[in-house]
Structure 1
Amino acid sequence: MLRLLPKPKYYMNMEYNIPKDSNESIIIDYSHPSKNFNRRISSLVMHYTALDLEESLTALTGQFTGVSAHYLVPKTALDGARKVFNLVPDHKRSWHAGVSAWKNRTNLNDTSIGIEIVNLGYKDENGKRIWEPFTDYQIETIILLAKQIVQDYGIKPTNIVGHADIAPGRKQDPGPFFPWKKLYENGVGAFYDASELDLKQKINIDIEQLQKDLKTYGYPVNITGTLDIDTRNTLISFQMHFRPSNYSGEPDAETVAILKNLIKKYCMI
C-alpha cells in the first residue's frame, strides 16, 4: 500500500520572483566541458540507388518518398566538376538505413552517415544475376568523400559498411562489385590480410562459433547453433563484402579464415 506524504513546508511556500519584462541576457559558460558523451555519428553506410541520376534525386528528395541520404554520388563529372550532392546536412538524421543493426546498435539512421551511389544494381537474365559495375570516377569520388567524413567524425574502419551488412537478407547493396579492397588500400574501411590466411589447415566449422564470430565483428546475427536462413543471409552479406568471387552463403573454410583474421586485426585491440 502506498502512502502519500505531505509536501514539505519549504516546497509549499516556494515562490519565484521573475520579472515579466526582463531584457537581461544569460551568459553561457563553456569553461567546464564534460568528457562524458558519445559522438552521434559512428558509422558510414554505402548504398546504390537502383535508379538513374534524375530518378535518384527525385526519390531521395521527394516529400512523400520516405527515403533520403546525406550524399549522392553521380556516375560521372557534372559541368566539368567532381560534384557530389549533399542532400541532408551531416548533423541531421537522414532516412537511409531503415531497420538495421551493427555492433549492437540498432536503427542506424540515428548514428550514421549514408552515401548513395547512382547505380542500377542488378537485373536477372536467363536465370543469372547481372550486376552493374561502378565507374572509376565514382570510386575515386567515394574515396575522397569517405576520407573527409572519417576525418571529421573519427569513424572506425570496421564501421564503414554496406547496407547489406547492417540489414542482411533485406538489402544487398552496394553489391559484390563494390570494391571494398580498393577503398581499404586507399585508407578507407577494413579488410583482411590475405598473406596471413592459412587455407591449407583443415577447419571443422562450428556454426555456433561462426555466429559468435560474425556477431563479434558487428553483424546482427542470432546465436542459434544452426545454419538457419538468417545465418545464411548474414554469410552472403559478409562474403559480398570480403570475398565477392563467391557469396553462396555457405560456411566454408576460406570464409571462416577471413573472419578470424578480421577479428584478430580489428577486434582484439
Structure 2
Amino acid sequence: MLKKLLLPLTAALLTGCATAPPAARLDNTYTARSQSSRVKFVILHYTVGNLPSAIKTLTEQVVSSHYLLTDEAEPKFYVLVDESRQSNHAGLSSWKTFSNLNPASIGIEIVNPGYTDNARGAYAPFSQAQIDQLILLLKDIVKRHQIAPQNILGHADIAPQRKQDPGPMFPWKQLADAGLITWPDAAQVAAQQAVFETQMPDIMWIQKRLAQHGYALAQTGVLDDATRNVLFVFQSKYRQSKYDGEPDAETAAILDVLTRPQAAAPVAATQELH
C-alpha cells in the first residue's frame, strides 16, 4: 500500500522539478533616447604568422579577434567573434581618456608576417586586395557603430611600449583617402616644418603633444625609451619614409598639425613649449 502511495508522489515531485520557472515579462513599448553602441574603437593588428597558425591561435587560445582577414589571392574575413560580444585582442591598452579597450572595440587581425628578422630586416607589405577588403568592412562598421575617425587605430597606438602592429608598411593614407581616418594637411605640415627647422620644440612639448594626440606617455622632459617608442609608432603611421623614433622638424610639424585646431596658422617654436 505504501509503495502505491509513493509512486504518484514521486511522479509529482519529478514533474515539479521539470517545470521551467516563469519567463520575465518583457515589454518593448519604450526605447531610451540616451544610448549608443558599445563599440567606440576599431583596432587593427597583424598576425605575425600564416593563415593556419592565425586561425589556431585566434580560435583555440586566450587571444581572439572579431575578424580575421586572410592573405589569399581573393582575401576574405573569418568572423570569429560576434560584434555584440567582447574579443580579447587589445590587452593592456589606452587611448586618450579610455583604458582597457577590449570591451569598447572591434578587433581586426590581418594575416601578415610583420617584421622579418632577416638580413634586410624589413616589414612585410600588405596586399592591395587585403586593403580593399578592409576598407569595405571598415566603412560598414563605421556606419553601423558611428565610429569617430580618430578612433580607428593600430594595436601599436594603444600599446606603444609593447606593440608595433600593423607596422610601417600598413597604408594608413589609403584609409584617410577613403574618409575613414584623419590625416595631416601636407601644406600645413610643410609650413610648420620650415618654422621648426629654425628652432625645434623641446622634448616636453613633444611629449605633451603626443599625449594630447592620444598616446599614454609621461611628460618627463627627457628623451627616454618610452618617448622613442611612441615616436616610432607615430612615425610608422604618419611618416613612413623614416621611423627611427628620434624627434625632428618634420615629425614635430606633423604632430603640431594633428593636435592644433584646424583653422590655426603655423606657430613659432617658442610658443606652447611647456
TM-score above 0.5, yes or no: yes
Say which of 76, 80, 90 aligns to 2:83: 90
Q: What is residue 30 of structure 2 aligned with on the other side?
A: 31
Report the CA distance between 1:200 and its aligned residue: 1.5
Cα distance between partner residues in 2 of 1:267 and 1:175: 31
Identity %: 43
How big is each residue's C-alpha offset from its partner over 1:147-205, in whole Å with a ceiling of 9 and x where there is no partner? 11111111111111101111112001100000000111011112111121112212332
Task: Find 1:226's aligned residue among 211, 215, 222.
Answer: 222
Task: Tell me if the contact between 1:216 and 1:267 (Cα under 8 Å) persists in the aligned partners.
Answer: no
- 1:147 lines up with 2:139 in the alignment: yes
Root mean square deviation of aligned Cα: 2.2
Check 1:252–1:31 CA distance in 2 against 1; reply closer, same or farther (3 A cut): same
1:238 aligns with 2:231: no
Q: Give the deviation of 1:57 after TM superposition.
A: 0.7
Whether the 8 Å CA contact 2:42–2:152 is kept in 1: the answer is yes
Task: Flag the structure with higher helix content.
Answer: 2
- Kindly provide the amino acid, as one letter, of the partner of residue 157 in structure 2: D
Match of residue 95 from structure 2: 102
One-letter amino acid of the counterpart of residue 41, structure 2: S
TM-fit CA distance, 1:26:
2.6
1:203 aligns to 2:203 (yes or no): no
Select the residue among 24, 39, 42 that pairs with 1:41: 39
Unaligned runs of 5+ in 1: 1-20
TM superposition shift of 1:267: 11
Q: CA deviation at 1:77?
A: 4.6
For residues 61 and 267 of structure 1, the distance between their equivalents in structure 2, rounded to whole angstroms, comes to: 47
2:17 counterpart residue number:
none
Deviation above 2 Å: which 4+ runs of structure 1?
A: 21-32, 264-268
Q: Say how many residue pairs are matched.
A: 241
Q: Secondary structure at the match of 1:47?
A: strand
**Superimposed CA distance per residue, residues 210-232 of structure 1 (whole angstroms, 9 cap, x where no aligned partner):** 11111111111112121111111
Q: 1:252 aligns with which of 248, 252, 257?
A: 248
Deviation for aligned residue 1:38: 5.2
Residues 25, 232 of structure 1: CA spacing in aligned structure 2 closer, same or farther, 3 A cutoff? closer
Shift of 1:29: 4.9
Give the superposition deviation at 1:265. Answer: 5.5
State the one-letter code of the partner of 1:160.
Answer: I
Give the match's secondary structure for 1:204: coil
Q: Is the 8 A contact 1:177 1:244 kept in 2?
A: yes
183 and 29 in structure 1: CA distance in 2 versus 1, 3 angstrom threshold = closer
Q: Cα gap change, 1:70/1:219 in structure 2, threshold over 3 Å: closer, same or farther?
A: same
Deviation of 1:53 (Å): 0.9
Distance change >3 Å, CA 22–CA 263, structure 1 → 2:
closer
Contact 1:205/1:251 (8 A) holds in 2: no
Could you give the per-residue CA deviations for residues 103-125 of structure 1, whole angstroms, max 9, x where no partner exists? Answer: 12111111111110000112122
C-alpha contact (below 8 Å) 2:200/2:248 kept by paired residues: no
Q: Show the counterpart of 1:3.
A: none
Query: What CA distance in whole angstroms lies between the structure 2 residues aligned with 1:214 and 1:121?
Result: 25
Check 1:108–1:267 CA distance in 2 against 1; reply closer, same or farther (3 A cut): farther
Match of 2:125 among 110, 130, 133: 133
What amino acid maps onto 1:171 in structure 2?
K
Q: Name the CA distance, whole Å, in 2 between partners of 1:153 and 1:25.
A: 29
What code does the residue aligned with 1:40 have? Answer: R
Task: Quote how far apart the aligned CAs of 1:87 are.
Answer: 0.4
Instruction: Structure 2: give runs of 5+ residues left out of the alignment.
Output: 1-19, 265-274
Q: Could you tell me how far apart the structure 1 residues matched to 2:125 and 2:95 are?
A: 26
Alpha-carbon distance between aligned partners in 2 of 1:266 and 1:66, rounded to the nearest angstrom: 42
- Alignment partner of 1:125: what SS? coil
Candidates 161, 173, 176, aligned match of 2:168: 176
Say if 2:43 and 2:155, in contact at 8 Å, map to a contact too.
yes
Partner of 2:5: none
